[in-house]
Amino acid sequence: MSELRVPFLDLKAAYSELRHELDEAVLRASRSGWYIGGPEVESFEADFAAYTEAKYCVGVGNGLDALTLALRALDIGAGDEVIVPSHTFIATWLAVSAVGAKPVPAEPASASYNVDVASIERCITSKTKAIMPVHLFGMPVDIDAICTLAKRHGLAVIEDAAQAHGAMVGGKKIGSHGDVVAWSFYPGKNLGALGDGGAITTNNEAIASRVRELGNYGSAVKYLNNERGVNSRLDPIQAAVLSVKLKYLDEWNKRRQNIAAIYSQALAGLGFGLPNEPAWAEPVWHLYVVTTPGRDVLQARLQSAGIQTLIHYPVPPHLQKAYQPLGLKVGDLPVAERLAKEVLSLPMGPHLGMEEVDYVVSVLLACA
Ligand SMILES: *Cc1c(COP(=O)(O)O)cnc(C)c1O
């Protein structure tokens, strides 16, 4: 076994590049005397709302809470159905389950990783209350078509943008197409904190204040509780860190875009399934995912060449033990099941060097 030469993602390098500014931000928050809420959180919320072209941003504890509180703010709960992608990180489904609603999976089109609009339409029933599309791997879904469909059926749209900070559709940033957009600042995301963090963005003032209240024990005025909320707030130290990192997000996304362009050009015509890039989409390449029926062999060959790859995701939510109660079986969602067997995420990130990219490409060429 050779030593690891290309890590999948180098989080420590992200810290090192901005070390002086990040250390300064952490100290500033520490010395401020505000340890819950306060100016660091308010300032980040204003900056992130502006960045995502949304009127409001409310910080919460993490991405899963952002999704869950968004559903609660729309009064979605027991007896309701929410359409989710069959191929996604399980958090999308868990949020729906957390409010007592039922996740109803819609499949991607066969050449895409993102949920397909026609497949969403087939899932609509009289119980459907919302559509929860995911901008998976940093590639925007066809959100305009989804919002049009939702409007026609009187449904809410809650976007899971945990992997899509900075992504655009027709020149407009993800952040306010749907009724509410949920974000994660988990360290490995395109905009990542030094710990957990999350937010919602929206143009709807009522949704924004309801999420803020729900995340603060259901209270807008101290010791007066309007409903049974939770404790889920964005930490001021993380907000200070995120304010620094937000300034570099576009530049770091550009580095990801350069790497993706190299992968797409070098790997074209070799028989791998490559990411589908619609003309209207400006993706931010949270992940660069290829497909091949020989995935496990390819991953082993890359591993022995010192290249770390990951699988997003090896078991689709409907086949997880956690979702046995839904009664879905192997064969029920064939696209998601095929993707689980064939996807492979190549090294990707703003600190992946060009020499490393060239090396990954050369090993892939030798494997093709
Ligand atoms: C990371 C992620 C989440 C959850 O975010 P956390 O901050 O880890 O709770 C939700 N959905 C998707 C698609 C994600 O990638």
What confidence tens digit (pLDDT) does each residue in 253-284 have? Answer: 999 999 999 999 999 999 999 999 999 999 99
**Ligand 1 mean position, distance from CA 218 (Å):** 23
Over residues 211-238, the mean pLDDT reads 96
Residues forming beta bridges with residue 182, ordered by sequence position: 160, 200
| Sequence ranges of the domains in the chain | 13-246, 248-367
Reported as a pLDDT band with limits 50, 70 and 90, residue 1 is: very low
| Ligand 1 pocket mutation pick from 60, 186, 289 by most atoms within 8 angstroms of CB | 186
- The whole-angstrom separation of Cα 57 and Cα 60 is 10
The pLDDT score that the predictor gives to residue 249 is 98
Ligand 1 atom with the shortest distance to the CA of 188: 1
Over residues 177-197, the mean pLDDT reads 98
Ligand 1 atom with the shortest distance to the CA of 186: 7
**Ligand 1 mean position, distance from CA 68 (Å):** 11
The fold adopted by the segment(s) 248-367 is: Aspartate Aminotransferase, domain 1 (3.90.1150)
Tokens of 69: 């509180």
Counting every residue written for the chain, the total comes to 368
**Ligand 1 mean position, distance from CA 91 (Å):** 6
Q: At residue 103, does pLDDT exceed 80?
A: yes
Whether the Cβ atoms of residue 193 and residue 238 lie closer than 8 Å to each other: yes
**Quick one: CATH architecture of 13-246?**
3-Layer(aba) Sandwich (3.40)
- The whole-angstrom separation of Cα 23 and Cα 194 is 11
pTM of the model: 0.98
**Ligand 1 site residues, Cβ closer than 6 angstroms:** 62-64, 88-89, 91-92, 134, 160, 162-163, 184, 186, 196, 198
The pLDDT score that the predictor gives to residue 111 is 82
Whether the Cβ atoms of residue 144 and residue 157 lie closer than 8 Å to each other: no
The pLDDT score that the predictor gives to residue 3 is 61
| Ligand 1 pocket mutation pick from 64, 97, 114, 232 by most atoms within 8 angstroms of CB | 64
Could you report the per-residue pLDDT of 324-343, keeping only the tens digit for each? 999 999 999 999 999 999 99
Amino acid at 318: H
Over residues 174-192, the mean pLDDT reads 98
Ligand 1 atom with the shortest distance to the CA of 64: 9
| Ligand 1 pocket mutation pick from 132, 165, 184, 190 by most atoms within 8 angstroms of CB | 184
For the beta carbon of residue 96, count every other beta carbon within 10 angstroms. Answer: 25
CA nearest to 89, candidates 112, 71, 50, 63: 63
Sequence-separated (6 or more) residues with CB below 8 Å from residue 147 = 157, 177, 178
Sequence-separated (6 or more) residues with CB below 8 Å from residue 330 = 319, 337
**Ligand 1 mean position, distance from CA 224 (Å):** 31
Q: Please, what is the average pLDDT of the chain?
A: 97
Over residues 167-187, the mean pLDDT reads 98
What percentage of the chain has pLDDT greater than the value 70?
A: 99
